[in-house]
Structure 1
């Protein structure tokens, strides 16, 4: 799983997806949970395990979302265009 894919994850993910992110098969992930050795917090919701995405990313050493220069440049370009519109465009 690459960075871009990891940052598109929802607030919590299923165990199979979390296992893929840490590089183990689902069977190994279940064993780690039984041994209380999974690298991040695990929630039991009904009969399923859910992994909080933020905890998973932290356990992988990814504390925050990356900022890309191209995104900043695109945002600045949009802001410049909006500045030129004037307030009458929004009324």
Structure 2
């Protein structure tokens, strides 16, 4: 069995991460085992910013994504549809207010 803590992260999983992640999750994102991640930190060659919080390491998610070459969150069609529906409701409300004030 591999020392890896699971399969590499998918895009969907990467975009659902909290503001910072533990070293195990960051290692998984880079496709390396946690032991290798600890070695990279010790040598100062981990591919992104690593914060020491007490006895644990935390990696800011924004730095992790940037190191993976992901600069921006993708826009999904569902998000666009929800935004369009919201805008239509606002326009409708504004039209109704105009009728009452008219």
Gaps of 5+ in 1: none
Q: What secondary structure, in the 3-state scheme, does the structure 1 residue paired with 2:58 have?
A: strand
**Displacement of 1:73:** 2.0
Instruction: Return structure 1 stretches of 4+ with deviation > 4 angstroms.
Output: none
- Scaled by the length of structure 2, what TM-score is found? 0.78
Aligned to 1:72: 80
Q: What secondary structure, in the 3-state scheme, does the structure 2 residue paired with 1:63 have?
A: coil
Name the Cα RMSD after superposition: 1.3
- Scaled by the length of structure 1, what TM-score is found? 0.87
Number of residue pairs the alignment of both structures matches: 87
Please give the residue correspondences for 1:1-91 in structure 2 after superposition, counting only pairs within 5 Å. 1-85=9-93, 86=96
**Displacement of 1:77:** 1.8
Query: Matched residues in 1 for 2:77 and 2:63: separation?
Result: 26
Deviations 1:22-63 (A, max 9, x none): 000100100110111100010000000000100000000001
